[in-house]
Chain A
Amino acid sequence: MALIRKSKQFKWRRKHLLGLRELSVEEITYILDTAKGFEQISTRSVKKAPPLRGKVVVNLFFEDSTRTRNSFALAASRLSADIIEFTQKASSVSKGETLLDTARNLEAMGIDIVVIRHNAGGAPKFLSRNINACVVNAGDGFCEHPTQGLLDVYTIRKIKGTLEGLKIAIVGDIAHSRVARSDMWAMTKLGAEVIFVGPPTLMPTQLSRLPVSVSYSLDEVIEKVDVINMLRIQFERLGGNPFPSIREYSHYFGLTVERMKRAKPDILVMHPGPINRGLEMESEVADGERSVILEQVTNGLAVRMAVLFLVNQAAAQGD
């Protein structure tokens, strides 16, 4: 395919994309390079290419999502696939059907690729072991969100040229964040230094075994970093009372105009969306000149096209 810049001797072999922890540097780079080839499709007058023509992609979403779901749907459609939308409410999951039965039924209809979002960590892996279709993880519990991690490093690489040697802060509810985990794996594999920032009550256990450093002070970190990724406070996942009030959280961990004055002039401000404006980030910063939040969304499309393309190709060659 002329769009794809071929890396020497490398061949993509995975028919599932379950997480970034298991990917090599070479594999991550290959996806990013493939995405680069797809980026131009969205700027053409006819925004469609044929590689998934005749294939069926199902968006199997058990959790709410707007941008990821739409991004996958659009990516599949640009590659000429047919798309089935499946939501928990519209399905028989509420009637007690298991995840496995739901997936097997969909597969019996001739599905080629399942894009799954689920509240249980490991659900995509569980599916991949039990069905023949390709499985793409669109977010599982607080385990991984690999396409978000990929689009984040894609965005950084596009602007900064490389991740090698960059210092990147990921700020907020690390404990319940699949984005933080996927970012951590991708960014550190590509040579960046990652700092998790947030209150200790929102940090996962045994961080010492992860390839990151930890800071409880955004004020200390803000001056040092090349990229800052502000996570959304996920009120739906927070148990108990991990911080005393929103006001106090914003005081210590909000990205304000004031704090931005002390940041490096070429810092990139990222957010996986949707933003709680005024909570983790002030509107002026979200919409400011260092923000690349909308570029992330644009790049997400190219990355997801690349992922769908690659898993489908691996499935075709593997069987």
Chain B
Amino acid sequence: MNSELLIKNGHVIDPANGIDKKCDVLIVDEKIAAVGEIEKSAQKVIDAAGKLVTPGLIDIHVHFREPGDEEEETIASGSAAAVAAGFTSVVCMPNTNPPIENETDVEYVHRKARQARKTHVYVMGAITKQRAGVELAEMGFMAEAGAVGFTDDGNGVQDPSVMLRALKYVAMFDVVTAQHCQDDSFAGNGVMNAGYYSTILGLPGADTLAEEAMLWRDVQLVKKTNVRYHAQHISTAGSVELIRAAKKDSLPITCEVTPHHLLLTEECCAEYDTNYKVNPPLRSAKDIEALKQAIAEGLVDALVSDHAPHLQSEKELEFLAAPFGIASLECALGLYVKVLLEPGILNWPALIRLMTEKPAKIIGVDKGTLGVGRQGDVTIIDPDAEYKIDVKKFRSKSRNCPYHGWTVKGRVEKTIVGGEIRFSAGD
């Protein structure tokens, strides 16, 4: 007996196949079976009139903290948060405790995700052992276990020769190498952007140079190796320039941005509210403009959350002592609607493309479209429904979210993973 799910009357947006119109989507046995005007009925029918029907959203930068910091987040709680936010696939970063640095670690994350049975959970492994930037981690075994990329996220790989070696080595496996661009000798002990506000607040600042110097260096390494490279959470106007030049040279370089680097400036730190302490730090209005321009030009390949959950007790410290990070998975779509769609920087198909097809390509998974035969991952969005972001309603275990109380549009109505409804609004 086949299981069938028919989504009727929705406005289907599937950028990979150029679909942007009212039609139906049929999923049979976990796979997309048909997209178009479908006359026949099915065992299960969802009426999506007035809603957008898109490929399941993909967030290639989240921190689910497991193993090691399960009090902040677990793969189960993070997965529940993900489907509630419309994400049918996420990519966990390896800066757990211990870090994800061998095949057993990768398999552990996959097993926990299967048990949670919410969203697809992928994982990037560490580039170097203990993310210490010295010795290469077992990237081959991790790739075989299903790691979709490598990064020492939280740290940049400082030693240029180690990074060069990593890129050369990873070329064997056709898996992307990602970088948290931060040259520590420039970043120092900075806890916010270096500028007027760090000066008057008396806090150590991290200069934009810290990000740009490493990105510049990595561009040279990619020129040398021609290996796929992904710049994580770029945040400065200078980084945009480097990406623009690299893309002009047709280098295999992609990049991502976060909501906070588009919505919040360093000025937000003025009251020492640690919910605004994030790395890379919040920058200036000029940097925000450059990032928006980059998105408008098509220079940015993925919109991510960089969901970084922390306990209230950890954030209830002096700004200097509190950990970096913003928990934003559950409001990411609404924030992107606010900052990119409403001002007309992107339309819906372009926005969805940066949250589905393009990130899927970066991590090399067969997802992010509604093509027939693809996995039945679908997100149904009410584009006009407004809601107030309320951290108390988060499925995430953490509440470190500066957007609490903001009103945004674009509510996730249903999240379907492999043909199964894993989230319905109001549940």
Contact = CB atoms under 8 A, between A and B. Distances in A.
B318 A99 contact: yes
Contact of A205 (B189, B205, B319): B205
B203 A122 contact: yes
A162 interface: no
Given A141-B320, A181-B200, A205-B205, A122 B195 contact: no
Interface in A119-154: 119-123, 125-126, 130, 140-144
B271 interface: yes
Contacts of B318: 99, 118, 120, 122-123, 126
Given A126-B272, A205-B205, A120 B196 contact: no
A21 B196 CA distance: 14
Contact of B203 (A21, A121, A206, A239): A121
A98 B274 CA distance: 15
B320 A120 contact: yes
B202 A178 contact: yes
B365 interface: no
Contacts of B188: 239
Interface size class of B (residues with CB under 8 A): 20 to 34
A204 interface: yes
A36 B301 CA distance: 64
Nearest to B321: A120
B199 A122 contact: no
B201 interface: yes
B203 A119 contact: no
Given A143-B201, A144-B202, A205 B317 contact: no
B316 interface: yes
B304 interface: no
Nearest to A144: B202
B271 A206 contact: no
A130 B203 CA distance: 20
Nearest to A99: B318
Contact of B194 (A142, A205, A207): A205
Interface string B195-229: 11011111101010000000000000000000000
Interface residues of A, number: 27
A118 to B, nearest CB: 7
A210 interface: yes
A175 B202 CA distance: 9
B318 to A, nearest CB: 4
B317 A100 contact: yes
Nearest to B188: A239
Given A121-B202, A140-B202, A239-B188, A205 B196 contact: yes
A125 B200 contact: no
A44 interface: no
Interface string B296-321: 00000000000000000100111111
Contact of B202 (A100, A122, A126, A239): A122
A207 B320 CA distance: 22
The CB with the most chain B CB atoms within 10 A, among A21, A118, A209, is that of A209
The CB with the most chain B CB atoms within 10 A, among A100, A121, A125, A207, is that of A121
Contacts of B320: 119-123, 141
A209 B196 contact: yes
Nearest to B198: A205
A142 B316 contact: no
Nearest to A181: B202
A18 B63 CA distance: 36
B196 A206 contact: yes
A206 B316 CA distance: 29
A123 to B, nearest CB: 5
Contacts of A206: 195-196, 199
A308 B411 CA distance: 52
The CB with the most chain A CB atoms within 10 A, among B189, B202, B316, is that of B202
Nearest to B318: A120
Contacts of A118: 318
Nearest to B200: A21
A143 B191 CA distance: 14
B196 A122 contact: no
A90 B316 CA distance: 23
A98 B200 CA distance: 25
A214 to B, nearest CB: 12
Contacts of B202: 121-122, 140-144, 178, 181
A181 B202 CA distance: 9
Given A98-B317, A239-B188, A205 B272 contact: no
Nearest to B320: A120
Interface string B318-354: 1111000000000000000000000000000000000
A121 B313 CA distance: 19
Nearest to A208: B196
Interface in A194-216: 204-207, 209-210
Interface in A76-100: 98-100
A100 B316 CA distance: 8
Nearest to A207: B199
A83 B195 CA distance: 39
A99 B200 CA distance: 22
B180 to A, nearest CB: 22
Contacts of A207: 199
Contacts of A205: 194-196, 198-199, 205, 207
Contacts of A239: 188-189
Contacts of A122: 201-203, 272, 318-320
Nearest to A122: B272
Given A99-B317, A126-B272, A126-B319, A121 B196 contact: no
A126 B201 CA distance: 12
25 contacts: A21-B200, A98-B317, A99-B321, A118-B318, A120-B318, A120-B321, A121-B201, A121-B203, A121-B319, A122-B272, A122-B320, A126-B272, A126-B319, A130-B316, A141-B320, A181-B200, A181-B202, A205-B194, A205-B195, A205-B196, A205-B198, A205-B199, A205-B205, A206-B199, A239-B188
Given A122-B203, A205-B196, A209-B196, 18 more contacts: A98-B317, A99-B317, A99-B321, A100-B317, A122-B201, A122-B318, A123-B320, A126-B272, A130-B316, A141-B320, A142-B202, A178-B202, A205-B194, A205-B195, A205-B207, A206-B195, A210-B196, A210-B199
Interface of B: 188-189, 194-196, 198-203, 205, 207, 271-272, 313, 316-321
| 7 closest Cβ pairs, A-B complex | A143-B202, A121-B202, A122-B272, A120-B320, A120-B318, A204-B199, A206-B196
